[in-house]
Amino acid sequence: MAEPAGPGAAGGGHAGNGQAAVGGVRTTAPLDVTTWSCPVPLRDSPTVQMGHGGGGQMSGELVEHLFRPAFGAVGELTDSAVLEVGDARVAFSTDSFVVRPLFFPGGSIGDLAVNGTVNDLAMSGAWPLALSTAFIVEEGMAVADLGRVATALGAAARAAEVPLVTGDTKVVDAGHGDQVFVNTAGVGLVRPGVDVRPGRARPGDVVIVSGDIGRHGVAVLSCREGLEFGTAVESDTAPLHRLVAAMLDAVPAAAAGAGGAVHTLRDPTRGGVAAALNEIARTAGVGVELVERQLPVPAAVADACSLLGLDPLYVANEGLLVALVPPEHAEEVLAAMVARPEAAGARVVGVVVDRHPGMVVARTGLGGTRVVDLPAGEQLPRIC
């Protein structure tokens, strides 16, 4: 995993320095680096740590060793389940959102709540049909602020053209919440003949990312810590179901074969591209090789990560997907992607291999190879 940003990384030298500009970074508030990343997580702690919510190894261990035995679950506990309902296959997914601040450059908790669940459904090859919303509001929150969150959520749902059909509101006493937490669940319809899941990844598959890496995490961090980087970084939050539909349409069913030409889709949110590819590699029992210089990392994201000691591969994205496509169809799928505004910067960044199953590696610019491990906890708490 990436190293936590220590006091030496950036903040120690100018804590309390309200308007310092160092190395292209402008601070508008005293820096407090202790909140930038979790302490090294205590994996055998008797209490819940922030890292248990980070989407990395600790999250996985909580699912494997606590939730799975408790639930008596036998199958995969995936981001999105597919149910047989009559003749239809219905995708079903849920996510809670606890991001701070509620509004950040490029989006809000309302955008994440809609787009996050829409994207979880889309990553199963499903077209989203409806969303539920459930608000847990802290007593004393300004009604106007709650209204802004609800308005942003409604606008995101209209932009995605997915109706909000059912909901719930609970209020907890002041001091036992944090303004508002939002849960969305969604149902979607998986198109006939399509089978998109991590288990379909095969050696030889081309790894495509749909655009810039790391924007969401850096946008939230910069806002939260009062940093301004040379160029403003905005969250990439966006619904990806139309992009996925275009990708599935790119290769005719007859040519694509059983299950379709897109083998695997994942939206690399918490834990970033690294966590998404590690989970695919482990589930499918394959290796993944990335080419570092192919990764589309915007200059402002690269600068911020370099300064803060973060690795862009581990930073959360909210409008990005990773696709695994067999080489014979990669060109058609990539062409369909770049034709859409959500994926104008799509490109091939690696390949699936039969070597080192379960492991992701990156070829560095110097010709070496480094292991891109599953992060233990999380670099940036409460990023979504």
Under 8 Å between Cβ of 327 and 273: no
Cα distance between residue 310 and residue 289, in whole Å: 21
Q: Given the complex with its own copies, which of 151 and 364 has the nearer CB atom? A: 151
Give least dist CB 70 to its own copies, A: 4
Under 8 Å between Cβ of 22 and 342: no
Give least dist CB 343 to its own copies, A: 25
Cα distance between residue 187 and residue 181, in whole Å: 21
- CA dihedral sign, ordered 72, 77, 81, 84: negative
If you write DSSP's letter for every residue of 174-221 in order, what string do you get? TTSS-SEEEEEEEEEEEPTTB---GGG--TTPEEEE-S-SSHHHHHHH
Instruction: Say how many C-beta atoms besides its own lie within 10 A of residue 293's C-beta.
Output: 11
Instruction: Say how many C-beta atoms besides its own lie within 10 A of residue 105's C-beta.
Output: 16
Give least dist CB 56 to its own copies, A: 12
Under 8 Å between Cβ of 225 and 32: yes
- Name the maximum alpha-carbon separation found in the chain: 64
Q: Choose among 383, 275, 379, 384: nearest CA to 51.
A: 379
Q: Given the complex with its own copies, which of 150 and 291 has the nearer CB atom? A: 150
Q: Given the complex with its own copies, which of 170 and 355 has the nearer CB atom? A: 170
Q: Given the complex with its own copies, which of 146 and 291 has the nearer CB atom? A: 146
Under 8 Å between Cβ of 336 and 245: no
H-helix or E-strand spanning residue 110: helix 109-122
Q: Given the complex with its own copies, which of 59 and 264 has the nearer CB atom? A: 59
Q: Given the complex with its own copies, which of 192 and 365 has the nearer CB atom? A: 192
Q: Given the complex with its own copies, which of 52 and 215 has the nearer CB atom? A: 52
Give least dist CB 190 to its own copies, A: 11
Give least dist CB 240 to its own copies, A: 18
Give least dist CB 231 to its own copies, A: 30
